[in-house]
C-alpha cells in the first residue's frame, strides 16, 4: 500500500484529502506514480495535468520526480508552496 | 536554539520575541520580521493550509540552516495557519546575534526559505470567490541567493524533469 | 512619515512599533531592528552623548532618505541617550512596507546610516575606567553600500583633506 | 563671534563643553579655524592634534575641512560618530 496526501488545489481537483492504495507492480518512482494516478479519474487527470505546477514530498521530505517510491511510503502531492 | 511553532491562534509578537533577550546581556542585535494579511484588491480573508506531519520538521530544518550559517544567540519562527483577516499577522521571524549584519541576513534568509521551502499554501477570499495564490518567481530568486552545496543537498523543490 | 525620537528613558519596542500597523490593513511587512548594550569584556555601563541641536534633524534627514529610496508605509527611529546598562536597548528602527524586501533593505539602511551619519558618541564603562568607542571601518563600509549622488550630496562626513 | 561646541573626547581634552569667541581676521574655513584653535591651549592642541580623527558640523550640518565659516556660525567639533 501507498499513502497519498493532497493539498491546496491538487486536493480540490482530486476531491479527497488523500487515499491509501495498493502500489501496482512496476511503479518505483514519483514520475511513474503520477502517471498512474492521473489515469484514475478525471479529477486526478485535471490535478496532475501540468507537471510543472506539481511538487512532491516523499515521507515528509521534498523529492524530485525521479525519487524512488515504494510500498509503505507517504507521498504528498501539492502545488508550489506559498507560505511565509 | 531557534524555536519553531505553528499555530491557528493570533501571533503575539512581544511574547514570541521576549525570550531572545530575557535575562541576557550578550545580545547586541535583534531583527524581527512580521508578515501581515493585506487587503489587496478587495481581499477579505486568507486561509493558510499546511501539511501538518511535515511542517514543524521543515521549519526546524530551515532554522538549523540559519543557525549553521550565522552566529546567532537565538531565534524564533511562528507561522499561523487557518483563516485570518486583513491586518492579522501570518508569520513572525526573529533572530538575535551579537552583530547586526548577521541578524539582518539570518532574518531575511529565514523569510526567503519559508516562502519557498515550507509546506504552506495560501487561499485568498474575495467577493468573487476563493483563489489559490501562485508561487512567485521573485520568491524563488530571493531564495536562490542563499544556495550553496549544503542548502541544495537539504532542499530541492524543483522536480528533476 | 518616519517618526523620530531621542529619549533618555528606556525604549518600549511594542509601543514604538504599534502605530505602524494600527488601524491599517495595507501593510504586508514590518521589519524591526533593536540594538542592545552588551556586556563585552566586562562592560558595566554605556553612556550615549549626542549633539541635541543637531540630532533630531540628522535623524529626520536619514529617515527622509529611506522614504525616498523605498516604498514605505511608515517607520520609526528611537535612539536612547544617557547612561544605560547591559541588556538595555540603545536604538530601535522599524519600517513598514507592502513588501518584505523593501522593509529589510530600509531597516538595514537606517541602521547603517545611524551608525555613521548621526551625532552620537558611545563611552564604555569598565572596572578599568571609561573609554570612548572608536568608529569602525566596517560601519563605514556598510554605510557606503547605499551611496549614490543623492546620498553623497546630503552627507559628507569625511573631511576633504 | 563664533560659537564652538565640543563633544566626546574632544570635549574632555579641551576641558569645556563649548566656548564663544571673537573670530579673528583671516579665518574663513574649518581648516584655518582648527589651526587657530589648536594654538589656544595644551588641551586644544591635544584634542585637535590628529585631524584624521576630527569631524565637524557647521550650523548643525556635517562639513568638510574646506567648508566656509563666518561670524555667527555654530561650529561643533567631535570624533567620528559611534551611535546606533
Distance CA B128, CA B125 (A): 8
Q: Please indicate whether chains D and A are in contact, defined as at least 3 beta carbon pairs under 8 Å.
A: no
Within 8 A by CB and 6+ apart from B2, the residues are B63, B64, B66, B67, B72, B74, B75, B76, B77, B95
Distance CA D52, CA A35 (A): 72
Contact C115 D30 (CB under 8 A): no
Residue range B27-72, pLDDT digits in tens: 999 999 999 999 999 999 999 999 999 999 999 999 999 999 999 9
| Residues of B whose CB is below 8 A from A80 | 134-135, 157
Report the residue of C47, C119, C120, C134 to disrupt the D interface, i.e. the one with the largest count of D CBs within 10 Å: C119
pLDDT bracket for residue B151 (50, 70, 90): very low
Q: Which residues pair with B29 in a beta bridge?
A: B97, C35
Furthest-apart CA pair in chain B: how many Å?
A: 52
C-alpha distances out from residue C5 to A8, C38, C61, D76, Å:
46, 22, 13, 21
Chain D touched by C130 (CB under 8 Å): no
| Residues of C whose CB is below 8 A from D34 | none
B: neighbours with 3+ CB pairs under 8 Å? A, C
Residue D20: pLDDT over 70: yes
Helix (H) or strand (E) holding C33: strand C29-36
- Between C and D, how many residue pairs show a Cβ–Cβ distance under 8 A? 96
Residue range D61-73, pLDDT digits in tens: 999 999 999 999 9
Q: Of all residues in chain B, what percent carry a pLDDT higher than 90?
A: 89
Contact C159 D9 (CB under 8 A): no
Distance CA B54, CA A63 (A): 13
> What does the CA dihedral C46, C133, B71, B55 come to, rounded to 10 degrees?
50
pLDDT along chain C (161 residues), means of 10: 96 95 94 96 97 95 96 97 97 96 97 97 97 94 81 44 38
Q: pTM of the full predicted structure? A: 0.92
Residue range A47-64, pLDDT digits in tens: 999 999 999 999 999 999
Chain C touched by B104 (CB under 8 Å): yes
Return the residue of B nearest to C107 by Cα: B104
Contact B29 C36 (CB under 8 A): yes
| Residues of A whose CB is below 8 A from B133 | 82
Chain C touched by B19 (CB under 8 Å): no
Between strands D74-78 and D2-6, the pairing is parallel
Contact C24 B87 (CB under 8 A): yes
Distance CA B73, CA B79 (A): 21
Chain A touched by B91 (CB under 8 Å): yes
Helix axes B52-69, B100-117, angle to 10 degrees: 150
Q: Which domains does chain C have, with CATH numbers?
A: 2-144 (3.90.1170.40)
Helix (H) or strand (E) holding C103: helix C100-117
Mind telling me how many Å the CA of B95 is from chain C's nearest CA? 10
The percent of chain B in helix, strand and coil, each rounded to the nearest 5, is: 40, 30, 30
Contact C38 B27 (CB under 8 A): yes
Query: What is the C-alpha R_g of chain D?
Result: 12
Dihedral sign (CA C45, D84, C19, B108): negative
Which of these, C143, D46, A55, A68, lies nearest to B119 by C-alpha position? A55
Return the residue of B nearest to A66 by Cα: B160
ipTM field: 0.91
| Residues of D whose CB is below 8 A from C161 | 51-52, 65
Chain A touched by B119 (CB under 8 Å): yes
Cell output for A1 = 500500500
Chain D touched by C109 (CB under 8 Å): no
Dihedral sign (CA C140, C146, C147, C151): negative
Contact B120 A84 (CB under 8 A): yes
Contact D76 C119 (CB under 8 A): yes
Within 8 A by CB and 6+ apart from B106, the residues are B31, B66, B69, B70, B72, B75, B95, B97
Q: Which residues pair with B125 in a beta bridge?
A: B45, B130
- Model pLDDT, residue B1: 86
Q: Of all residues in chain D, what percent carry a pLDDT higher than 90?
A: 100
Residue range A28-45, pLDDT digits in tens: 999 999 999 999 999 999
Amino acid at each position: 500500500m501507498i499513502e497519498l496526501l493532497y493539498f491546496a488545489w491538487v486536493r480540490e481537483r482530486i476531491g479527497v484529502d488523500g487515499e491509501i492504495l495498493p502500489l501496482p507492480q512496476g511503479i518505483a518512482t514519483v514520475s511513474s506514480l503520477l502517471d498512474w494516478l492521473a489515469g484514475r479519474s478525471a479529477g486526478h487527470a485535471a490535478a496532475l495535468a501540468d507537471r510543472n505546477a506539481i511538487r512532491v514530498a516523499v515521507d515528509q521530505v521534498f523529492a524530485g520526480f525521479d525519487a524512488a517510491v515504494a510500498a509503505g511510503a507517504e507521498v504528498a502531492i501539492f502545488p508550489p508552496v506559498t507560505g511565509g | 536554539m531557534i524555536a519553531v511553532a505553528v499555530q491557528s491562534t493570533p501571533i503575539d509578537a512581544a511574547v514570541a520575541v521576549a525570550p531572545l533577550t530575557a535575562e541576557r546581556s550578550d545580545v547586541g542585535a535583534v531583527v524581527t520580521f512580521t508578515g501581515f494579511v493585506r487587503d489587496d484588491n478587495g481581499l477579505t480573508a486568507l486561509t493558510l493550509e499546511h501539511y501538518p506531519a511535515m511542517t514543524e520538521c521543515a521549519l526546524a530544518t530551515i532554522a538549523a540552516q540559519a543557525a549553521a550559517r550565522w552566529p546567532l544567540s537565538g531565534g524564533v519562527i511562528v507561522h499561523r495557519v487557518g483563516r485570518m483577516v486583513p491586518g492579522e499577522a501570518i508569520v513572525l521571524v526573529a533572530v538575535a546575534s551579537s552583530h547586526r549584519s548577521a541578524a539582518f541576513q539570518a532574518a531575511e534568509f529565514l523569510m526567503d526559505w519559508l516562502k519557498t521551502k515550507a509546506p504552506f499554501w495560501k487561499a485568498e477570499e474575495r467577493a468573487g470567490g476563493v483563489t489559490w495564490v501562485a508561487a512567485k518567481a521573485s520568491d524563488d530568486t530571493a531564495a536562490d541567493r542563499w544556495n550553496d552545496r549544503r542548502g541544495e543537498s537539504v532542499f530541492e523543490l524543483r522536480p528533476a524533469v
